[in-house]
Amino acid sequence: MSSVVVVGAQWGDEGKGKIVDWLCHRADVVVRFQGGHNAGHTLVVGNQTYKLALLPSGLVQGKLSIIGNGVVVDPWHLVGEIEKLRAQGVTITPDKLVLADNACLILPLHRDLDVAREAAAGAARIGTTGRGIGPAYEDKVGRRAVRVADLSDEATLEWKISRLLTHHNSLRRGLELPEVDATALKRELLEVAPKVLPYAQVAWRVLEQQRRDSKKILFEGAQGMLLDVDHGTYPFVTSSNVVAGQAAAGSGLGPNAINYVLGLVKAYTTRVGEGPFPTELFDDVGKKLGEIGREVGVNTGRARRCGWFDAVLVRQSVALSGIDGVALTKLDVLDGFPEIKLCIGYKLGDRELDYLPSGVKEQAAVVPVYETMPGWTESTHGVRTSRDLPANAIKYIRRIEELISCPAALVSTSPERDDVILMRDPFRG
C-alpha cells in the first residue's frame, strides 16, 4: 500500500491539477483535504479541457474521489461543478464521489463578508478571492458553522442558523450590510440539501477501509505552502493549513498512512494577489514569462505576478512539508531565454539569510541574491524522456535539486496530460 500527498511548494498555481490527473493512473482513491473552491485546477485531456475548483481531479478518470472534512464546501458551487462535469461526459455518482458529512459549509453570508471586509480594508487588503473561504474557516474554529450533516435535520439546521446569525448580523450591521433573514437562509439550504446529501458519508471510515484494502491513495492539496496560514507570508495567505501534515487532519487518516510527499514547483515563480514576492520581475522578462506561461488564474481571471525561481522559498517548503521529491512544471516556458536566474539567498540590510523571515516588514525588504545560468534554444515542449532534454535544461534541473536539497521526481513539459518525464515514481518511493 502506498499513499502520496501532493502539495504546492510555492504560492499555488504550480500545475497540481495536471500532475494529480497524471498520477491518478497509479492511484485508486483521490482526496481533497483543505481549502475550498478558491483554487482552480485545469486538466487537459486530448481536446477536452476540464476546469475544477472543488471536486477532486480523480473524478475525470472515474476514481473514487473524496472531499475531506478539512475542506470548506459551498453547496451551490458543488452542485454547479457536478452539473458542468456531467455535461462534459464525466460520470458522477455517490459511488464515485464522497463528501465528508462533517465538512463545514460556505454560505452566501460568508461571501458577503469576504467582499465587504476587503473593500473596507482599502490599501490594507490582502487579496482574497472573495469566495467566502476565510469567513467560513473562522466560523469553523468559532464553533458556529453549519456542517453537511446538518442539512439532513431541519430542527438542528434552524438552531445552527440562529447561533450563526447572532454573530454575523452583528458584523453586518458594523459593515452597513443588511441583516440575513434566518427563514430565507434556511429555505435556501433545504432546497439545495437533496442535491448534496446523496454524496454525504462518514469519509474517514471510507478512507480507513480503502487503506485496509491496500488501495493507493492520492491526497490532493490546494493553493501552495507559501499561502499556509501558519507558515506562509502571513497575513497574505489562505485560511487553512496547506502543509502535507494537513492531509491527515483534513481527511481523517492518521499520519502513518502517508508514505510519500510530492511538492510541486514551477520552473519559475508566480503569485496571485497581494503580498511579498522577492524575485518578482517588473521588466520585459517578467511580462514574457506571463505571456508564454499564460499566467492567468483559472477561477479568478486575475493575472499572476511572475519572477525567477526562488530556491530559498522552495527549500523552506521542502523542510516544512517533509517533501520527498518535487514535480517541476512549465519547464518549456523557459525555452529560448538566453540566460536564466536562480535566487540562492537573500540580503536584508547587512545580513545574509537562507530563509524568509516571518515579519511583514522584513519579508517586504529582503533582496534576492541571484545565480545566472545559460538558457537553451531547443524546444522542451512535449518532451517525455530526460534524454531528449537540452543539456542546459538538464543542468538547470540538477542545480535546482542541489539548491533545494530534494530530487526531481517528475518534470512537466506542457499542459497536456501525458507530457511528463518520470524520474522517480512517487508510488514506489
Cell 429555505 found at: 187
Cell 476565510 found at: 134
CA distances 339 to 313, 334, 393, Å, are 21, 9, 11
Nearest CA-CA partner of 127 in 297, 368, 307, 293: 297
Give the torsion through C-alpha atoms of 218, 224, 225, 228, to 10 deg. -110
Q: Which three cell numbers stand for residue 66?
A: 473524496
d(C-alpha 411, C-alpha 414), whole Å: 10
Which of the following is catalytic: 13, 21, 150, 332? 13
Cell 490599501 found at: 123
Which of the following is catalytic: 21, 37, 41, 150? 41
DSSP helix/strand/coil, 13: coil
Q: Is residue 423 left, alpha or beta, with left meaning phi > 0 and alpha meaning psi from -120 to 50?
A: alpha
**Are the C-beta atoms of residues 262 and 323 closer than 8 Å to each other?**
yes
**Are the C-beta atoms of residues 26 and 427 closer than 8 Å to each other?**
yes
- Residue 287 CB neighbour total at 10 angstroms: 12
The yes-or-no answer on residue 13 being catalytic is: yes
Q: Which residues are catalytic?
A: 13, 41
